[in-house]
Structure 1
Amino acid sequence: MRLWLLRHGEAEPRARTDAERHLTLRGRREAGQAAVQLEGRQLQAILASPYVRAQQTAEVVREALGLPMAITTVPWLTPDSDPREALRRLDAYEGREVLLVSHQPFIGDLAGLLLHGHLEQPLPMRTASLAELDGELFAAGSMELLALVHPR
């Protein structure tokens, strides 16, 4: 199984609420760079945080790849979500190639949990960093990091 973890692109520093922060032009370019890394992949699902910047990042990727699927918005991909809850939710996507679009510290913590089996060693994820993980199932300590690409 292949799991792609993408942190949203650069967002504006302020908005009425954190959830309403939009991508900057640079953030859109960063998301486009991440999409290039996903060309030719057989993505079967795109799951995104409900926050505006994650939704916009997911949409940039979906459009750049010409994918006909809708983006699935899930409440368990926000910055403060529990990575252990995400593992339980990911069971529904087992056997599929999935892209998650989320935030720090959650996305780094989730990667660390999948790779090391604990939350003490998060993966460093800058804006629009894309991690490629592979494994037999979405479980703590069961996946291998194949690539970690940061935008230029």
Structure 2
Amino acid sequence: MKLWVLRHGEAEPRANTDAERRLTAHGREQVLRSAAVLLGEPLQAILASPYVRAQQTAGLVHQALGFAEPVQTMPWLTPDSDPQAVIDELDKLGLEQVLLVSHQPLVSTLVGMLESGHRQGPGMSTASLAELEGDWPLAGLMTLRSLSHP
């Protein structure tokens, strides 16, 4: 399995709620630079948090890649979601090539859990993209192949 974990691009600092924060112009540029890394990758699905900035990020990647399938919104990809619950959901999907679009602290803790089995993961700034590979999406059984920061 190949899993990419993308943190949303830079977002405006305030909105009525955290879930409503939108990408800035700089954030959109960051996302497009990260999307370029994914060109030619045989993704099966783009899964995104329901928060506006993650939806916008996923939409930009979707468009940049010319991805045929619609972005799927997953309620279990919000900032404070439990990384083990995300791993369980990924396992149920049974996909081989997936992009997740989410937020801190989830993205770092998820990468840490998948790579080492611990919640301590790498620092991921806005639009950072982690590439993990392994036989199964299980804690401690995936290898972090790359981590790029736009």
- Do Structure 1 and Structure 2 share a fold, with TM-score over 0.5? yes
Instruction: For residue 96 of structure 1, report the CA deviation from its aligned partner.
Output: 1.5
Aligned 1:24-35 pairs, distance under 5 A: 24-35=24-35
Q: How does 1:11-50 map to 2 (within 5 A)?
A: 11-50=11-50
Change in CA separation of 1:68 and 1:112 when aligned onto 2, cut-off 3 Å? same
**Partner residue in 1 for 2:140:** 141
* Aligned residue type for 1:23: L
Name the % identity: 58
Structure 2, unaligned stretches of length 5 or more? none
Match of residue 66 from structure 1: 66
Aligned AA for 2:56? Answer: Q
* Residue identity opposite 1:123 in structure 2: P
- How far 1:19 moved relative to its partner? 0.1
Give the SS at the match of 2:146. strand
Scaled by the length of structure 2, the TM-score of the pair is: 0.98
What SS does the corresponding residue of 1:54 show, helix, strand or coil?
helix
Question: Per-residue deviation at 1:71?
Answer: 0.5
Give the whole-Å Cα distance in 1 for the aligned partners of 2:77 and 2:121.
16
- What residue in structure 1 maps to residue 96 of structure 2? 96
SS at structure 2 position matched to 1:123? coil
Q: How far apart are the structure 2 equivalents of 1:54 and 1:107?
A: 12
Post-superposition shift, 1:94? 2.7
- Shift, 1:92, TM fit: 2.4
One-letter amino acid of the structure 2 residue matched with residue 55 of structure 1: Q
The CA distance in 2 between the partners of 1:111 and 1:72, in whole Å, is: 20
The SS at the match of 2:110 is helix
In the alignment, which residue of structure 1 is the partner of 2:109? Answer: 109
> In the TM superposition, what is the alpha-carbon distance from 1:124 to its structure 2 partner?
0.8
Gaps of 5+ in 1: none
Query: Which residue matches 1:150?
Result: 149
User: 1:112 is paired with a residue of what secondary structure?
Assistant: helix
Q: Give the partner amino acid of 1:102.
A: S
Per-residue deviation at 1:95?
Answer: 4.2
1:52 maps to 52
